[in-house]
Structure 1
Amino acid sequence: MKYCAFLRGVNVKGTNMKMADVCQVFKEAGTKEVASVLASGNIVFSSDKNAGDLKVILEKAMSDHFSYEAFLFVKSKEETEIFWNSIPFEKNDDLHIYGFVGNPGVENVLMEEFEAASKAENEKAEIKEELFYWQVPKGNTLDSSFGKVLGKKSLKDQFTSRNVNTFEKILKKMG
C-alpha cells in the first residue's frame, strides 16, 4: 500500500536533516519505494504494514537515528487524496491555505483554538471531512494569533500542517 509520512518539526528550530538521510532511515525500517517531497518532511513509501504500526516503527527509527523526539503522521494515498479534494477555500494569490494532518479529533481542538484567537482580515478556518483547514493572508502565518498557537508544546504530538499545494505534489509522487 502507498503511504505518506508527514513529519512534524523538520528543518525548523534547529531540527535539521537531509531528506536523503530520512529516506535511508525509512528504508532501513523496512519500507519500500521511498522518496521525499520537498524538504519539509513528507516521505512517500510503500509497505504491507498498517498505518498505526508504521507510525510506531518510523517514529522510533527517526528518534533513534536523529537523536530527537520524532512525531509523524502516516496517511494512505486515499487519505491524502481527501486532503487535496476537500479544500474549502478558493485559491487566492494573497492567501495561504493550510491543511492539518493529525490525530483523530485534533480538528476540533484546532477549531476551538482558532475561534479563541484574534484574526486578520480574510483569515478563516473550516473543518471538512474531519480535516482542519486554515486560510491566512500571506506574510501573516507566523505572526497571527492562531499561528502562535500552533507552536504550543502541548500540541506537538497532535498534528502537523502543510500548505495545501504540498498535497498535490505528494499525490503526483505517489503516482
Structure 2
Amino acid sequence: MKYCAFLRGVNVKGTNMKMADVCKVFQDAGTENVISVLASGNIIFSSDKKREELKSILEKSMSEYFNYEAFLFLKTEKETENIWKVNPFIDKDDFHSYAFVGNENVENILMKEFQEAAKAKGEEGKIVNNIFYWQVPKGNTLDSGFGKILGKKSLKDQFTSRNLNTFEKIIKKL
C-alpha cells in the first residue's frame, strides 16, 4: 500500500534534517519506493505493513537516527488525496489554508481551541470528514490566537499541519 508520512517539527526550532537522510531511514526501516516532497517532512512510500506497526517502527527509527522525539502521522494515498479534494475553503489571495493531520478525534480538540481563540478578520476553521481545516489571513499564521497552539507542547504528539498547496504537490508525486 502507498502511504504519505507527515512528520511533525521537521526543519523548525533547531530540528534540522536532510530529506535524503530521512528517506534513507525509511528505507532502512523496511519501506520501499521512498521519496520526499519539500523539506517539511512529507515522505511518500510503500509498505505491506499495517499503519499502526509502521507508525511505531518509523517513529522509533527517526528518533534514534536524528536523536529527537519523532512524531509522524500516516495517511494512505486515497486519504491524502481526499484531504485536498474536500478542502472547504475557496482560494483567497490574502489567505493561507491549512489541513491538520493527526490522531483520531484531534479535529474536535482543534475546533475547541479554534472556537476559544481570538480570531483575525476572515479567519475560519471547519471540520470536513474528520479533518480540521483552517484559513487565516497571510501574515497571521503564527500570531493568531489559534496559531499559537501549533507549538503547544501538550499537543505535539497529536497533530501536524500542512498548507493545502503542500497537499497538491504531494498528490502530484503520488
TM bin, normalised by shorter chain, reads over 0.9
User: What are the superposed Cα offsets for residues 144-172 of structure 1, whole Å, 9 maximum, x if unpaired?
Assistant: 11100121111000000000111111111
Aligned to 1:75: 75
Please tell me whether residue 24 in structure 1 is matched to residue 30 in structure 2.
no
Residue by residue, what CA displacement relative to the aligned partner does 1:32-74 show, whole Å, maximum 9, x if unpaired?
A: 0000000000000011111111100000000000000000001
Task: Say how many residue pairs are matched.
Answer: 174
State the AA in 2 paired with 1:37: V
What is the alpha-carbon distance in structure 2 between the residues aligned to residue 50 and residue 134 of structure 1? 30
Cα deviation code 1:9-52 (max 9, x no counterpart): 00000000000000000000000000000000000001111111
**1:65 match: secondary structure:** helix
Any idea what the Cα deviations from partners look like across 1:96-124, whole Å, max 9, x if unmatched? 00000000100000000000000000100
In the alignment, residue 109 of structure 1 is paired with which amino acid? Answer: I
Distance, in Å, in 2 between the alignment partners of 1:167 and 1:49 is 24
Matched, 1:138 2:138: yes
Question: Aligned equivalents of 1:108 and 1:150: distance in 2?
Answer: 15
TM-score normalised by the chain length of structure 1: 0.98
Alignment of 1:57-96 (within 5 A): 57-96=57-96
**Counterpart AA for 2:24:** Q
The one-letter code sitting in structure 2 at the alignment partner of 1:38 is: L
Identity of aligned residues (%): 70
Q: Distance in 2 between matches of 1:82 and 1:33?
A: 22
SS at match of 1:119: coil
Unmatched 5+ residue regions in structure 2? Answer: none
Corresponding residue for residue 8 of structure 1: 8
Residue segments in structure 1 that go unaligned for 5+ positions in a row: none
* Structure 2 counterpart of 1:67, one-letter code: N
For 1:86 and 1:13, how far apart are their aligned partners in 2? 31
Q: Secondary structure at the match of 1:145?
A: coil
SS at match of 2:11: coil
| Residue equivalent to 1:126 | 126
Structure 1 equivalent of residue 99 of structure 2: 99
Taking structure 2 as the reference length, the TM-score comes to 0.99
